[in-house]
Amino acid sequence: MIEKEPISGQYGKFEIDGISHRIYWEEAGEGIPLVCLHTAGSDGRQYRALLNDEKILEKFRVLVFDMPWHGKSSPPENSSIGNYKLSTDLYISQILSFIDGLELIKPVVMGCSIGGRIILHLAIHFPEKFRALIGLQSAGHLDPYYDINWLHRQDVHGGEVCGGIAYGLMAPTSPEKEKFETMWHYMQGGPGIFKGDLFFYKYDGNIGNEIRKIDNSKCPIYLLTGEYDYSATPEETKILADSIGIEMVKMKNVGHFPMSENPEEFLKYLHPVLEKIN
């Protein structure tokens, strides 16, 4: 017999802003709900190591959903190519719909990159709803540093260019096997989806002075950032942490996708955080 993983995957119908969406999610473990948010242009497979980590699964019910348009989740009805743009409000609706749809009580939410940004919005608007929030590669805003139109052009293969962008965001010290898989997820994204997610990351989701509204006493926030990330750098996370009045953790030898590019290294940093939350 083959060795089976403890992960189960399911589909469900979720109402997001009044529209029915067919969403795919995976889960494993029992205990405190820990909802994990994948990065822009990728999908829930990024959390494959967490979903297999015995230590975490003893005390946490880990859940990872693919956002609409990503992974195995469907696009909403009446969609067309080229019009996808993730807004802050839509992203919040997706997360709350998932949590409420599964009747999760006081979950922990952990997000990376765009997920690391949206947890800040959750902290501002719904702190009472969460047991804790964990931001990986979090920054309050990001000024564009390359032309994202290259990510969706009919004369450039989207999988090739998105994979090329994602590859460089990882640490040279991360294992090639995990880096390749992380890049491969990007290569499988649909046309314009990575670019559409970056509308949130680089424009709509930028947080200005609102960051001052975050009250860490209402909901504990933990920030961890990989040293090789040049998108959300440790320096930018530090500015964010200082604004909130908390410490941040700089993770050695990882880049923008810690849970996927170097799970072994990442889990050394995550376990102590989850122990505090538990």
- Output the CA–CA distances (angstroms, integers) from residue 152 to 195, 200, 211, in the order listed: 7, 16, 32
Residue placing its CB nearer to another protein in the complex, 74 or 173: 173
d(CA 49, CA 76): 29
d(CA 115, CA 137): 9
Q: In the structure encoding, which two tokens stand for residue 203, read together? A: 């424009």
- CB 215, min distance to another protein, A: 32
Residues interacting with another protein, by CB under 8 A? 145-146, 150, 155-157, 160-161, 163-165, 167-169, 171-173, 176, 179-180, 183, 227-231
- CB 152, min distance to another protein, A: 12
- CB 202, min distance to another protein, A: 13
φ, ψ of residue 213 to 5 degrees: the values are -75, -15
- CB 233, min distance to another protein, A: 8
d(CA 183, CA 204): 25
- CB 236, min distance to another protein, A: 11
Residue placing its CB nearer to another protein in the complex, 100 or 176: 176
Residue placing its CB nearer to another protein in the complex, 76 or 159: 159
Q: In the structure encoding, which two tokens stand for residue 230, read together? A: 């040049």
Residue placing its CB nearer to another protein in the complex, 53 or 236: 236
Q: In the structure encoding, which two tokens stand for residue 193, read together? A: 């989806």
d(CA 31, CA 19): 30
Residue placing its CB nearer to another protein in the complex, 184 or 203: 184
Residue placing its CB nearer to another protein in the complex, 172 or 272: 172
- CB 179, min distance to another protein, A: 7
Q: Which residue has the tokens 């696009």?
A: 75
Q: Where are the alpha helices (DSSP H) in 211-261?
A: 234-244, 258-261
d(CA 249, CA 47): 20
